[in-house]
Structure 1
Amino acid sequence: MAKVYNYTYGLDVWLTTRKSLQLRAEIDERTAAGDLSASSPIPYQVARCMPYLQAVIKEGLRLEGSPGIPLPRVVPQCGAEIAGHFFPGGTVVGVNAYVLHRNKDIFGHDAEDFNPDRWLGDKEVVSRSLPLLNNEQFGGGSRVCIGKHIAFIELSTLIPDLVRKFDFELVDPCAQRKRRNVFFIKHQNLDVKISERRAC
């Protein structure tokens, strides 16, 4: 649940931007086509096939779901070469996913920006970036988070339900945003007004 909480905490900012209208349009189109019921929860089977929604989730996890500290691993006794450098056995190594996910060499010049379109564009860039996202968000191998798939189901059903039912507005759009590292990066000074969606 911590992953979903941390992600949705940062999602509030994005939902107050014009880009969120594109997700709302995708949801409204699926509802008009009969794939979604306006009064029932969104089924995961439908949500996982909504391209823009899945791009929003990936981008949100990239920017907001990362631990703000390296997750340490111990190099095996035989040693290991990592990124062209040899590390002797017993050395503690780690990657800070928060920093990695803002690397402009990987995610482009707008790596600090919330841009779901990056996951819908150049297939080569997406195929290079996605493994980093999957491995750093939830860990990997024997240490993968056991709640990974539950988190994706929750995000895939919660986000579209919020977007189709509510409008989001920053109370003070000019307020200086602050962040605090408490394992996950927590936003401070972030007040959002949530109201029932206005009729179109």
Structure 2
Amino acid sequence: MRLYLSVGLLLERHVPAGGAVICGKHIPEGTIVGVNPWVTQHDPEVFPNPEVFEPERWLATGKNKEQLAMMERSFFSFGAGSRVCIGKNISLIEIRKIIPQLLRDFDMSIEGDKEWIVKNVWFTQQQMPLCVLKRRKRHGTG
């Protein structure tokens, strides 16, 4: 979710009445501002080796606690604050249920040598090589 976020464009906000100071600059009220989540999730100061899939980066074991806290604060896959995605919790439940179930019940392989392509049209759309699932035989079933 950090490497290939669902939203690929700015998460826009309007500057409130009276304006705001953002990164040391005064921004007038009503101005549309935003952050691109792809940029925040690939910041090497927050996520060392940001282009690398390293799930163990989230484990606290032997990790600088301040770095881990900064990564957790910066994780932006569902937005943040009062505008966090309303479906975040149900999505996380589905992910935590479906992925282990797929890994338990199926052998997976990739067919061909196509490259994984990501197109950005607000929600990112992924075209990837054909993934083949073969049901595993379960012990005690026919």
- For normalisation by structure 1, the TM-score amounts to 0.61
Q: Which has the larger radius of gyration?
A: 2
Among residues 72, 79, 86, which one is paired with 1:130 in the alignment?
72
Residue 156 of structure 1 deviates from its aligned partner by: 1.1
With over 3 angstroms needed to count, the CA separation of the structure-2 counterparts of 1:191 and 1:176, relative to structure 1, is same
Larger strand proportion, structure 1 or 2? Answer: 2
Residue 101 of structure 1 deviates from its aligned partner by: 0.6
Q: Gaps spanning 5+ residues in structure 1: where?
A: 1-60
In structure 2, what is the equivalent of residue 197 of structure 1?
136
Preserved CA contact (<8 Å) 1:68 1:183: yes
In structure 1, what is the equivalent of residue 58 of structure 2?
119
Distance 2:53 2:124 in 1: 16
Aligned positions, number = 135
Distance 1:141 1:101 in 2: 16
1:164 match: secondary structure: helix
Preserved CA contact (<8 Å) 1:73 1:94: yes
2:11 match: secondary structure: coil
Residue 94 of structure 1 pairs with residue 29 of structure 2: no
Higher relative contact order (CA 8 A, sep 6+): 1
Spell out, residue by residue over 1:86-132, the C-alpha distance to the aligned partner (whole angstroms, 9 max, x if none): 21111110000012111112101x21122101101423222101112
Among residues 160, 169, 173, which one is paired with 2:109 in the alignment?
169
Distance 1:87 1:103 in 2: 24
With over 3 angstroms needed to count, the CA separation of the structure-2 counterparts of 1:103 and 1:196, relative to structure 1, is same
Residue 81 of structure 1 pairs with residue 18 of structure 2: no
Cα RMSD for the two superposed structures: 1.9
In structure 2, what is the equivalent of residue 181 of structure 1?
120
With over 3 angstroms needed to count, the CA separation of the structure-2 counterparts of 1:87 and 1:72, relative to structure 1, is same
Q: Gaps spanning 5+ residues in structure 2: where?
A: none
- For normalisation by structure 2, the TM-score amounts to 0.84
Distance 2:127 2:85 in 1: 26
In structure 2, what is the equivalent of residue 158 of structure 1?
98
Larger helix proportion, structure 1 or 2? Answer: 1
In structure 2, what is the equivalent of residue 31 of structure 1?
none
Distance 1:142 1:116 in 2: 27
